[in-house]
Amino acid sequence: MYKNVEDAIKIESNPDLELYFQWARAHEIRWDKIEYPVLFPPGYIGSRAIASIEPEESIITVPNNMLITTKIAFLSEIKHIYEENPDLFSKINPRYEELILITFLIWEKCKGSNSVWYEFIISQPVQVEILQDWSIEEIQQLQDEDLEYESQSQLSAEIKLYSDWKQAIEKYPQYFQPNMLDYAEFNWAYKLIGTRAFVKFVPHWTLAPIAELLNHHNTSTFYCYNFPNEISESLSRYNYFEEDEDNDEDFAEKIPITTINCKQLLSINKDGNENIDESLRIKYEKLIKEAEKIDDNENDGKMRKERYQQPNILLIENDEKQLKIVAGLNDRYEAGSEVYMSYGRDSNKRLLSVYGFSLKDNKYNYARIKVNLTDLSSNLNQIQYMINSSLDGIYAFKIRERHLCLDLLRVIRALKWSNKFPEAAFFLPASIDLEIQTFEYAKNILNRWISRYPTTYERDLELLQENPPLKLYFALVYRSEVKKILLKQMQLIDIIMRLLMKLKIGAEIEQALNEELENSEDGLGNKRVIEVYLDMLK
């Protein structure tokens, strides 16, 4: 249950916001159990429940005719502009829907009170701040070079998009006056859509009046587009995803990230080996088949995830349908609590990149470490083979709080495997001695990575207690949460290494595990993670 936030303060609405609310109610948009704007600690604006909200209860409903969509925009009086510039406003451009809405918003904004959407437009923030607007000093507080590069790339991409757009639209001075082509106007619409549009589970890119008032959280409160009495559910939206797995899109990379499969790992081990006798040759032949099988299964899994469509969902527009925000099965909001919705399965990296904020205890968060493959091997022949085969690139590994870093462990294990170990131990844990070596190496890699940070996790927590400004607060949350995940992973590795040493001298698994976790912080959570690994080891 979401509890009453005692320190929250109701802010007086400005005239534009009051006009917006009157307009929305007159057009049958409903949000009867929430109030806005409310100031929540540490200093952001959100929505508050004024009465209890129960699971599966609709929080906001917006009729179909009140949705600002790419279809509405395309069929407007500037339709010919879209049709005459297909390079920008058709499917050949992956960002065409975004550009259609940007153009439409600028067009409608310049109509002033003559616009059908006037009340919505004047209520929107004049300036939306996202990561690309942070100063260099503010971005450096994230202690993440990847996000620094992402913000630069994000801004460069927007400026290129603006340049292409302006070149096309300035051909229509009878519709778009010079002041409408200013970068500030484009930037306003671009950010408004980027931070407030509904995209995945609606027929068209959509702005939904009033629905933008809810902040994001790891809640099961969700949006849907369906008939008023239709049952709403979101549990099947992410089949093939683990319960806490993110759905981040790719980020810009200063140095390209390389991927490696099991067959390539086997090639490195084999071709980096100078002494292949008959028994080892037979093992390699068997391992080739196993590598191909694992790679095929993993590729199939990725394809299923990418192609998956939620069953029983027809994203077909209908005048009787509504966009609804619905409390999830496990969500109950008591009066006085902040009311949220889920924007998606976003890590803090993506939340910062797109929206400019980060969350404590984000279940979809991860730490991302980057390693040159040559740093994962101490075998000079393997390293030379990597270089000769162009496999000596940068590899990225996601480390999650409630999981062992199995991808990293598999790479290290495969590079350390030799003929003295069973073939079953090449890709999976099947040799205690090899596992001890693998975990020792993984711990060293993580130690080296976390030692690069200029502040410790403990210092970040102290700084968070000093009531920092909001952007610094989000930066401190971001970097401390990453370090927390890395430290948690190292704690798990330490526990497993001690377990392996006990198993090596004949201890019983269950007894050894219980002894290790008896006085461990978060013993139950650690046990779940470790038991998954031990089941593989058996």
Digit-by-digit pLDDT tens for the chain (538 residues) are: 999 999 999 999 999 999 999 999 999 999 999 999 999 999 999 999 999 999 999 999 999 999 999 999 999 999 999 999 999 999 999 999 999 999 999 999 999 999 999 999 999 999 889 999 999 999 999 999 999 999 999 999 999 999 999 999 999 999 999 999 999 999 999 999 999 999 989 999 999 999 999 999 999 999 999 999 887 767 667 766 788 899 898 899 999 999 999 999 999 999 988 889 999 999 999 999 999 999 999 999 888 877 766 655 678 999 999 999 999 998 999 999 999 999 999 999 999 999 999 999 999 999 999 999 999 999 999 999 999 999 999 999 999 999 999 999 999 999 999 999 999 999 999 999 999 999 999 999 999 999 999 999 999 999 999 999 999 999 999 999 999 999 999 999 999 999 999 999 998 888 888 888 887 777 778 888 999 999 998 6
What is the C-alpha separation between 188 and 158, in angstroms, rounded? Answer: 12
HSE of 361 in the Cβ direction (CA atoms, 13 Å)?
3
DSSP label at residue 389: T
pTM score > 0.85 for this model?
Answer: yes
| Residue 500 phi, psi (nearest 5) | -60, -40
| Coil, helix or strand at residue 511 | helix
Q: Is 339 helix (H, G, I), strand (E, B) or coil?
A: strand
Query: With contact defined as beta carbons under 8 Å apart, do 261 and 288 qualify?
Result: no
Q: Which helix (H) or strand (E) holds 146?
A: helix 145-169
CA dihedral over 211, 214, 216, 217, signed as positive or negative: negative
Q: Is 168 left (phi over 0), alpha (psi -120 to 50) or beta?
A: alpha
What pLDDT is attached to residue 27?
98
Considering only CA atoms, give the Rg of the chain: 27
CA–CA separation, 85 vs 164, rounded Å? 11
CA angle 247, 136, 129 (to 5 degrees): 55
DSSP label of 345? S
480 to 32, 208, 230, 402: CA distances (angstroms): 38, 34, 42, 17
For the chain, how many residues are written? 538
Phi, psi values for residue 334, rounded to 5°: -85, 160
Collapsing DSSP to helix, strand or coil, 131 comes out as: helix
Q: Position of tokens 């933008």?
A: 212
- Spatial distance between the Cα atoms of 37 and 367, rounded to a whole number of angstroms: 34
| Cα separation, 149 vs 165, whole angstroms | 24
Return left, alpha or beta for 163; rule: phi > 0 is left, psi -120 to 50 is alpha, else beta: alpha
Q: How far, in Å, are 59, 182, 220 from residue 201 at the CA level?
A: 17, 32, 15
Please list the alpha-helical segments (H only) found in 211-277: 262-271
Q: Are 201 and 223 in contact (CB under 8 A)?
A: yes
Closest by alpha carbon to 235, among 364, 323, 342, 321? 342
For 342-495, strand residue ranges (E) read: 367-372, 394-399
Domains by residue range for the chain, with CATH:
1-66+208-239+313-364 (2.170.270.10), 68-203 (no CATH), 257-307+366-537 (no CATH)
Residue 95: C-alpha distances to residues 103, 190, 330 (Å): 12, 11, 36
